[in-house]
Amino acid sequence: MTTSLKRKRTVDPAAQKVLAETDAAGIETAYDRHDEQEPRCGFGELGICCRICEMGPCRISPFDKGPKRGICGATAATIAARHLIRQVAAGAAAHSDHGHDIVNTLLHTAKGTAKGTAQGFAIKSPERLYELAAEWGISTEKKSVEEIAREMADLALKEFTNQEGEIRYPTLRAPKATVDRWRRLGIIPVGIEHEIVETLHRTHEGVDADYKNLIMHGLRTAMGDGWAGSMLATDFGDVLFGTPEAVRSQVNLGVLKKDEVNIVVHGHEPTLSEMVVAASRDPELIKLAKEKGAKGILVGGICCTANEILMRQGAPVVGNFLHQELAVATGAVDVMLVDVQCIMPALVEHAQRFHTKVITTSKKAKIPGATHIQFDEHTAYDTAKEIVKIAVENFPNRGPVNIPDEKTDLVAGFTVRNTFTHLGGRYRATFRPLNDAIISGRLRGVAAVIGCNNVKKTQDESHLAMVRELIAHDVLVVMTGCAATACAKAGLLQPEAAAKWAGKGLQEICEAVGIPPVLHLGSCVDNSRVLVALCEMIREGGLGQELADLPIAGAAPEAMCEKAIVIGFYCVASGAYVNYSPAMRVLGSSELTKFLTEDIEEVTGGKFSFEGDPIKAARLMIAHIDKKREALKLRPMMYAPVTPDITK
Among ligand SF4, ligand XCC, none, what binds residue 71 when CB lies within 5 to 8 Å by partner kind? ligand SF4
Q: In the complex, what is the shortest distance from the CB of residue 76 to ligand SF4, in angstroms, rounded to a whole number?
A: 10
Residues 283 and 34: their CA atoms lie apart, in Å, by 44
DSSP structural state of residue 502: S
* Residue nearer to ligand SF4 on the CB measure, 207 or 640: 207
- Pick one of 58, 272, 303, 438: the residue that binds ligand SF4 (CB under 6 A): 58
> What are the distances in angstroms from CA 548 to CA 228, 431, 444, 567, 626?
20, 18, 16, 16, 13
- Pick one of 44, 56, 314, 582: the residue that binds ligand SF4 (CB under 6 A): 56
- Does 71 participate in binding ligand SF4 (rule CB under 6 A)? yes
Residue 372's φ and ψ, nearest 5 degrees, are -105, 125
- Pick one of 152, 216, 342, 571: the residue that binds ligand XCC (CB under 6 A): 342
Of all residues in the chain, what percent are helix, strand and coil, respectively (each to 5)? 50, 10, 35
Among ligand XCC, ligand SF4, none, what binds residue 449 when CB lies within 5 to 8 Å by partner kind? none
Among ligand XCC, ligand SF4, none, what binds residue 603 when CB lies within 5 to 8 Å by partner kind? none
Residue 55's φ and ψ, nearest 5 degrees, are -80, -25
Residues 410 and 396: their CA atoms lie apart, in Å, by 32
C-alpha 630: how far from chain center: 31
Number of C-beta neighbours around residue 302 at 10 A: 29
Residues 230 and 334: their CA atoms lie apart, in Å, by 32
- Does 72 participate in binding ligand SF4 (rule CB under 6 A)? yes
Residues 594 and 449: their CA atoms lie apart, in Å, by 23
* Residue nearer to ligand XCC on the CB measure, 70 or 226: 226
Q: In the complex, what is the shortest distance from the CB of residue 71 to ligand SF4, in angstroms, rounded to a whole number?
A: 4
* Residue nearer to ligand SF4 on the CB measure, 84 or 315: 84
Among ligand SF4, ligand XCC, none, what binds residue 53 when CB lies within 5 to 8 Å by partner kind? ligand SF4
| Cβ atoms of 606 and 573 closer than 8 Å | yes
Closest CA to 389 of 302, 292, 295, 324: 292
Helices 504-513, 416-423: inter-axial angle, 10-degree rounding: 90
Site stretch for ligand SF4 (CB under 6 A), options 17-25, 68-76, 111-119, 491-499: 68-76
* All residues at 6 or more sequence positions from 594 whose CB lies less than 8 Å from its CB, including other chains: none
Site for ligand XCC in 209-228 (CB under 6 A): none
β-bridge pairing 317-319 and 518-520: unpaired
Site for ligand SF4 in 188-227 (CB under 6 A): 205
Among ligand SF4, ligand XCC, none, what binds residue 573 when CB lies within 5 to 8 Å by partner kind? none
The three-class DSSP label of residue 221 is helix
Q: In the complex, what is the shortest distance from the CB of residue 382 to ligand XCC, in angstroms, rounded to a whole number?
A: 27
- Does 50 participate in binding ligand SF4 (rule CB under 6 A)? yes
DSSP string, 404-438: ----EEEEE---HHHHHHHHT-TT---SHHHHHHH
Site map for ligand XCC, 478-507, x if CB under 6 A? Answer: ---xx-------------------------
Q: Is the dihedral of CA 289, 293, 296, 302 positive or negative?
A: negative
* Residue nearer to ligand SF4 on the CB measure, 201 or 281: 201
Site map for ligand XCC, 526-545, x if CB under 6 A? Answer: --------------------
| Cβ atoms of 52 and 443 closer than 8 Å | no
Q: In the complex, what is the shortest distance from the CB of residue 591 to ligand SF4, in angstroms, rounded to a whole number?
A: 16
Among ligand XCC, ligand SF4, none, what binds residue 561 when CB lies within 5 to 8 Å by partner kind? ligand XCC
* Residue nearer to ligand XCC on the CB measure, 338 or 510: 338
* Residue nearer to ligand SF4 on the CB measure, 72 or 615: 72
* Residue nearer to ligand SF4 on the CB measure, 52 or 299: 52
* Residue nearer to ligand SF4 on the CB measure, 79 or 338: 79
Q: In the complex, what is the shortest distance from the CB of residue 318 to ligand XCC, in angstroms, rounded to a whole number?
A: 13
> What are the distances in angstroms from CA 70 to CA 58, 75, 80, 332, 567?
5, 7, 12, 52, 30
- Does 563 participate in binding ligand XCC (rule CB under 6 A)? yes
Beta bridge partners of 299: 263
Site stretch for ligand SF4 (CB under 6 A), options 52-60, 122-130, 262-270, 275-283: 52-60
* Residue nearer to ligand XCC on the CB measure, 59 or 350: 350
- Pick one of 79, 304, 367, 509: the residue that binds ligand XCC (CB under 6 A): 304
Q: In the complex, what is the shortest distance from the CB of residue 172 to ligand XCC, in angstroms, rounded to a whole number?
A: 25
The strand order across the sheet containing 577-580 reads: 518-520, 475-479, 445-449, 552-556, 577-580, 607-609
Site for ligand XCC in 543-562 (CB under 6 A): 560-561
How many residues form the binding site for ligand XCC (CB under 6 A)?
Answer: 14
Among ligand XCC, ligand SF4, none, what binds residue 304 when CB lies within 5 to 8 Å by partner kind? ligand XCC
HSE-up (13 A, CA, CB side) for residue 325: 24
β-bridge pairing 335-338 and 261-266: parallel
Among ligand XCC, ligand SF4, none, what binds residue 72 when CB lies within 5 to 8 Å by partner kind? ligand SF4
- Pick one of 11, 19, 48, 74: the residue that binds ligand SF4 (CB under 6 A): 74
Residues 241 and 230: their CA atoms lie apart, in Å, by 16
β-bridge pairing 357-360 and 371-372: parallel
Among ligand XCC, ligand SF4, none, what binds residue 52 when CB lies within 5 to 8 Å by partner kind? ligand SF4
Torsion of Cα atoms, 91 then 94 then 95 then 99, to 10°: 160
- Does 318 participate in binding ligand XCC (rule CB under 6 A)? no
C-alpha 615: how far from chain center: 22
Residues 233 and 410: their CA atoms lie apart, in Å, by 24
- Does 512 participate in binding ligand SF4 (rule CB under 6 A)? no
Site stretch for ligand SF4 (CB under 6 A), options 14-22, 67-75, 381-389, 414-422: 67-75
DSSP structural state of residue 4: G
> What are the distances in angstroms from CA 246 to CA 97, 249, 451, 521, 603?
28, 10, 21, 10, 38
**Residues near ligand SF4, by CB under 6 A:** 50-53, 55-58, 70-72, 74, 79, 205
Rule CB under 6 A: which residues touch ligand XCC? 268, 303-304, 320-321, 342, 451-452, 481-482, 524, 560-561, 563
